Amino acid sequence: VLIAGNWKMFKTPSETAEFCAALRDREAELEDTDVVVCPPYTSLHHAVSVLAGTSIAVFGQSVHWASEGPYTGEVSATMLGELGVTGAIVAHSERRQLFAETDETAALRVEGALDGGLSVIACVGETESEREAGETDAVLRRQVEALRVVVDEDHLDRLALAYEPVWAIGTGRTALPDDAGLIAGLIREQLRETLNTEMGEQVRILYGGSVNPGNIKDFMAKTNIDGALVGGASLDPDQFAAIVRYRI
Ligand code: 13P
Protein backbone atom coordinates (compact mmCIF):
# COMPACT_ATOMS: atom_id res chain seq x y z
CA VAL A 1 0.00 0.00 0.00
CA LEU A 2 1.22 3.49 -0.92
CA ILE A 3 -0.25 6.60 0.69
CA ALA A 4 1.08 9.91 -0.65
CA GLY A 5 0.31 13.43 0.51
CA ASN A 6 0.29 16.04 -2.25
CA TRP A 7 0.66 19.36 -0.47
CA LYS A 8 0.23 21.42 -3.65
CA MET A 9 1.28 25.06 -3.02
CA PHE A 10 1.00 24.83 0.76
CA LYS A 11 3.58 25.00 3.56
CA THR A 12 6.69 27.12 3.82
CA PRO A 13 10.02 25.49 4.77
CA SER A 14 9.45 26.08 8.49
CA GLU A 15 5.88 24.75 8.33
CA THR A 16 7.23 21.74 6.47
CA ALA A 17 9.83 21.04 9.15
CA GLU A 18 7.13 21.23 11.81
CA PHE A 19 4.83 18.83 9.94
CA CYS A 20 7.64 16.37 9.22
CA ALA A 21 8.76 16.35 12.86
CA ALA A 22 5.20 15.52 13.92
CA LEU A 23 4.97 12.75 11.32
CA ARG A 24 8.39 11.39 12.30
CA ASP A 25 7.21 11.09 15.89
CA ARG A 26 4.37 8.91 14.67
CA GLU A 27 6.47 6.71 12.40
CA ALA A 28 5.99 3.64 14.57
CA GLU A 29 2.22 3.93 14.03
CA LEU A 30 2.42 4.08 10.26
CA GLU A 31 2.25 0.31 9.80
CA ASP A 32 3.91 -1.34 6.85
CA THR A 33 2.62 1.24 4.41
CA ASP A 34 4.82 3.17 1.99
CA VAL A 35 4.32 6.77 3.07
CA VAL A 36 5.29 9.71 0.85
CA VAL A 37 5.04 13.46 1.31
CA CYS A 38 5.19 15.82 -1.69
CA PRO A 39 5.99 19.37 -0.51
CA PRO A 40 6.63 22.37 -2.79
CA TYR A 41 10.18 22.55 -4.21
CA THR A 42 11.23 25.21 -1.70
CA SER A 43 10.41 22.86 1.18
CA LEU A 44 11.97 19.66 -0.16
CA HIS A 45 15.29 20.15 1.57
CA HIS A 46 13.65 20.64 4.97
CA ALA A 47 11.42 17.60 4.50
CA VAL A 48 14.36 15.40 3.52
CA SER A 49 16.44 16.62 6.49
CA VAL A 50 13.76 16.09 9.10
CA LEU A 51 12.67 12.71 7.72
CA ALA A 52 16.25 11.37 7.28
CA GLY A 53 16.60 7.92 8.81
CA THR A 54 12.85 7.21 8.63
CA SER A 55 11.02 5.14 6.04
CA ILE A 56 8.95 8.15 4.95
CA ALA A 57 9.88 9.26 1.41
CA VAL A 58 9.90 12.75 -0.06
CA PHE A 59 8.72 13.35 -3.66
CA GLY A 60 8.53 16.48 -5.80
CA GLN A 61 5.28 17.65 -7.40
CA SER A 62 6.62 17.57 -10.96
CA VAL A 63 9.93 17.03 -12.76
CA HIS A 64 11.38 17.94 -16.14
CA TRP A 65 12.52 15.29 -18.63
CA ALA A 66 15.98 16.72 -19.35
CA SER A 67 18.78 16.49 -16.80
CA GLU A 68 19.59 20.18 -17.35
CA GLY A 69 18.92 22.86 -19.94
CA PRO A 70 17.25 26.17 -20.79
CA TYR A 71 13.89 25.43 -19.16
CA THR A 72 13.04 28.35 -16.88
CA GLY A 73 11.02 27.34 -13.86
CA GLU A 74 11.68 23.61 -14.17
CA VAL A 75 13.80 21.17 -12.14
CA SER A 76 15.35 17.86 -13.18
CA ALA A 77 15.47 14.35 -11.75
CA THR A 78 19.21 14.83 -11.19
CA MET A 79 18.57 17.94 -9.10
CA LEU A 80 15.84 16.28 -7.06
CA GLY A 81 17.95 13.17 -6.59
CA GLU A 82 20.93 15.06 -5.22
CA LEU A 83 18.63 16.63 -2.67
CA GLY A 84 17.56 13.20 -1.38
CA VAL A 85 14.18 13.33 -3.10
CA THR A 86 13.29 9.86 -4.40
CA GLY A 87 10.31 10.48 -6.66
CA ALA A 88 7.88 12.90 -8.24
CA ILE A 89 4.24 13.34 -9.07
CA VAL A 90 3.76 13.83 -12.81
CA ALA A 91 0.85 15.39 -14.74
CA HIS A 92 -1.39 16.19 -11.81
CA SER A 93 -4.70 17.49 -13.17
CA GLU A 94 -3.86 20.97 -11.89
CA ARG A 95 -0.76 20.88 -14.11
CA ARG A 96 -2.87 19.59 -17.01
CA GLN A 97 -5.60 22.19 -16.54
CA LEU A 98 -3.71 25.28 -15.39
CA PHE A 99 -0.19 24.84 -16.77
CA ALA A 100 -0.71 23.27 -20.17
CA GLU A 101 0.56 19.78 -19.33
CA THR A 102 -0.38 17.43 -22.16
CA ASP A 103 -0.28 13.66 -22.61
CA GLU A 104 2.93 14.21 -24.57
CA THR A 105 4.74 16.26 -21.92
CA ALA A 106 3.41 13.92 -19.23
CA ALA A 107 4.98 10.98 -21.05
CA LEU A 108 8.29 12.79 -21.45
CA ARG A 109 8.34 13.63 -17.74
CA VAL A 110 7.54 10.05 -16.71
CA GLU A 111 10.28 8.71 -18.95
CA GLY A 112 12.83 11.29 -17.77
CA ALA A 113 12.03 10.70 -14.12
CA LEU A 114 12.23 6.90 -14.33
CA ASP A 115 15.45 7.05 -16.38
CA GLY A 116 16.80 9.52 -13.83
CA GLY A 117 16.26 7.01 -11.04
CA LEU A 118 13.14 8.51 -9.48
CA SER A 119 9.85 6.86 -8.62
CA VAL A 120 6.79 8.36 -10.28
CA ILE A 121 3.15 8.89 -9.40
CA ALA A 122 1.57 9.66 -12.76
CA CYS A 123 -1.92 11.15 -12.64
CA VAL A 124 -4.86 10.42 -14.91
CA GLY A 125 -8.52 11.32 -14.65
CA GLU A 126 -11.52 12.73 -16.48
CA THR A 127 -13.05 16.19 -16.08
CA GLU A 128 -16.68 16.72 -15.14
CA SER A 129 -17.69 17.56 -18.72
CA GLU A 130 -15.88 14.50 -20.09
CA ARG A 131 -17.66 12.39 -17.51
CA GLU A 132 -21.04 13.88 -18.40
CA ALA A 133 -20.36 13.26 -22.08
CA GLY A 134 -19.74 9.57 -21.31
CA GLU A 135 -16.07 9.88 -22.29
CA THR A 136 -14.47 8.65 -19.07
CA ASP A 137 -13.25 5.34 -20.47
CA ALA A 138 -11.89 6.88 -23.67
CA VAL A 139 -10.08 9.67 -21.82
CA LEU A 140 -8.46 7.27 -19.39
CA ARG A 141 -7.47 4.92 -22.18
CA ARG A 142 -5.78 7.78 -24.01
CA GLN A 143 -4.00 9.06 -20.91
CA VAL A 144 -2.79 5.63 -19.75
CA GLU A 145 -1.66 4.66 -23.24
CA ALA A 146 0.42 7.84 -23.56
CA LEU A 147 2.27 6.97 -20.37
CA ARG A 148 2.54 3.27 -20.97
CA VAL A 149 4.44 3.59 -24.23
CA VAL A 150 7.37 5.32 -22.56
CA VAL A 151 7.69 2.99 -19.60
CA ASP A 152 10.60 0.61 -19.67
CA GLU A 153 9.72 -2.82 -18.27
CA ASP A 154 12.62 -2.60 -15.84
CA HIS A 155 11.13 0.47 -14.19
CA LEU A 156 7.63 -0.75 -13.47
CA ASP A 157 8.27 -1.23 -9.77
CA ARG A 158 8.89 2.52 -9.51
CA LEU A 159 5.70 3.55 -11.27
CA ALA A 160 2.30 4.22 -9.72
CA LEU A 161 -0.75 5.59 -11.54
CA ALA A 162 -3.13 7.82 -9.63
CA TYR A 163 -6.74 7.90 -10.79
CA GLU A 164 -7.98 11.34 -9.82
CA PRO A 165 -11.34 12.32 -11.27
CA VAL A 166 -10.94 16.07 -11.72
CA TRP A 167 -14.44 16.83 -10.40
CA ALA A 168 -13.56 15.12 -7.09
CA ILE A 169 -10.41 17.13 -6.38
CA GLY A 170 -10.67 19.67 -3.59
CA THR A 171 -14.44 19.65 -3.90
CA GLY A 172 -15.33 17.36 -1.01
CA ARG A 173 -17.09 15.21 -3.64
CA THR A 174 -15.55 11.79 -3.89
CA ALA A 175 -16.09 9.22 -6.58
CA LEU A 176 -18.16 6.36 -5.26
CA PRO A 177 -15.73 3.70 -4.06
CA ASP A 178 -17.47 1.21 -6.38
CA ASP A 179 -16.93 3.50 -9.39
CA ALA A 180 -13.33 4.22 -8.43
CA GLY A 181 -12.72 0.49 -8.00
CA LEU A 182 -14.25 -0.19 -11.40
CA ILE A 183 -12.10 2.42 -13.11
CA ALA A 184 -8.97 1.18 -11.33
CA GLY A 185 -9.95 -2.23 -12.75
CA LEU A 186 -10.16 -0.76 -16.26
CA ILE A 187 -6.73 0.81 -15.88
CA ARG A 188 -5.34 -2.51 -14.63
CA GLU A 189 -6.91 -4.30 -17.58
CA GLN A 190 -5.32 -1.84 -19.99
CA LEU A 191 -1.93 -2.34 -18.35
CA ARG A 192 -2.36 -6.10 -18.53
CA GLU A 193 -3.30 -5.94 -22.20
CA THR A 194 -0.40 -3.80 -23.24
CA LEU A 195 2.31 -4.95 -20.87
CA ASN A 196 2.35 -8.62 -20.09
CA THR A 197 -0.01 -9.83 -17.39
CA GLU A 198 2.49 -10.07 -14.60
CA MET A 199 3.87 -6.61 -15.30
CA GLY A 200 0.39 -5.14 -15.37
CA GLU A 201 0.05 -6.29 -11.77
CA GLN A 202 3.23 -4.56 -10.69
CA VAL A 203 2.08 -1.00 -11.27
CA ARG A 204 0.32 0.39 -8.23
CA ILE A 205 -2.96 2.19 -8.80
CA LEU A 206 -3.92 4.94 -6.37
CA TYR A 207 -7.20 6.78 -5.93
CA GLY A 208 -7.21 10.55 -5.32
CA GLY A 209 -9.96 13.10 -4.79
CA SER A 210 -11.26 14.26 -1.40
CA VAL A 211 -9.81 11.26 0.46
CA ASN A 212 -10.12 11.65 4.24
CA PRO A 213 -9.82 9.49 7.38
CA GLY A 214 -13.53 8.65 7.12
CA ASN A 215 -13.62 7.34 3.55
CA ILE A 216 -10.14 5.84 2.98
CA LYS A 217 -11.20 2.36 4.10
CA ASP A 218 -13.94 2.16 1.47
CA PHE A 219 -11.47 2.91 -1.33
CA MET A 220 -8.79 0.58 0.00
CA ALA A 221 -11.34 -2.25 0.12
CA LYS A 222 -11.37 -2.31 -3.70
CA THR A 223 -9.21 -5.01 -5.26
CA ASN A 224 -7.46 -2.79 -7.81
CA ILE A 225 -6.84 0.19 -5.53
CA ASP A 226 -3.39 -0.04 -3.96
CA GLY A 227 -3.20 3.31 -2.25
CA ALA A 228 -4.23 6.95 -2.22
CA LEU A 229 -3.00 10.37 -3.32
CA VAL A 230 -4.30 12.77 -0.70
CA GLY A 231 -4.54 16.55 -1.07
CA GLY A 232 -6.21 18.69 1.58
CA ALA A 233 -6.29 16.04 4.31
CA SER A 234 -2.53 15.46 3.98
CA LEU A 235 -1.75 18.94 5.32
CA ASP A 236 -2.52 17.99 8.90
CA PRO A 237 -0.24 15.36 10.48
CA ASP A 238 -3.05 13.87 12.59
CA GLN A 239 -5.39 13.48 9.62
CA PHE A 240 -2.65 12.21 7.34
CA ALA A 241 -1.49 9.65 9.93
CA ALA A 242 -5.12 8.58 10.44
CA ILE A 243 -5.43 7.95 6.69
CA VAL A 244 -2.21 5.91 6.68
CA ARG A 245 -3.52 3.88 9.62
CA TYR A 246 -6.88 3.22 7.95
CA ARG A 247 -6.80 -0.46 8.87
CA ILE A 248 -7.12 0.28 12.58
P1 13P B 1 -8.00 16.64 -2.39
O2 13P B 1 -7.69 15.43 -1.54
O3 13P B 1 -7.80 17.94 -1.68
O4 13P B 1 -9.32 16.52 -3.07
O5 13P B 1 -6.90 16.66 -3.56
C6 13P B 1 -6.71 15.51 -4.29
C7 13P B 1 -5.50 15.68 -5.09
O8 13P B 1 -5.48 16.44 -6.05
C9 13P B 1 -4.30 14.95 -4.71
O10 13P B 1 -3.32 15.03 -5.67
* Banded pLDDT at 2 (limits 50, 70, 90): very high
CB 177, CB 191: distance < 8 Å: no
Give the pLDDT score at 210.
94
Query: Burial of 243 by CB count in 10 Å (0-12 exposed, 13-18 middle, 19+ buried)?
Result: buried
- Segment 16-71, tens digit of pLDDT: 999 999 999 998 888 789 999 999 999 999 999 999 999 999 999 999 999 999 99
Give the pLDDT score at 246.
92
Least confident of 99-108, 125-134, 168-177, 194-203: 194-203
11 lines ligand 1 (CB under 6 A): no
Task: Share the mean pLDDT of the chain.
Answer: 94
Please state the separation of Cα 76 from the chain's center in Å: 18
Distance CA 136, CA 129 (A): 9
Three-state DSSP class for residue 175: coil
- Respond yes or no: is residue 198 known to be catalytic: no
- Averaged pLDDT, 133-151: 92
Whether 150 shows a pLDDT value over 90: the answer reads no
Give the pLDDT score at 200.
77
Give the pLDDT score at 45.
98
Give the pLDDT score at 18.
98
Give the pLDDT score at 151.
84
- Respond yes or no: is residue 155 known to be catalytic: no
Distance CA 18, CA 6 (A): 16
Residue bearing the bigger pLDDT, 152 or 112: 112
- Averaged pLDDT, 203-227: 96
Proportion of the chain above pLDDT 90, given as a percent: 84
Distance CA 55, CA 170 (A): 28
166 lines ligand 1 (CB under 6 A): no
Ligand 1 atom showing the smallest separation from residue 211 Cα:
2
Give the pLDDT score at 19.
98
Whether 241 shows a pLDDT value over 90: the answer reads yes
- Segment 198-211, tens digit of pLDDT: 777 889 999 999 99
* Banded pLDDT at 90 (limits 50, 70, 90): very high
210 lines ligand 1 (CB under 6 A): yes
Best residue among 7, 97, 126, 169 to mutate for probing ligand 1's pocket (most ligand atoms within 8 Å of CB) is: 169
190 lines ligand 1 (CB under 6 A): no
Ligand 1 atom 1: the closest Cα is on which residue? 231
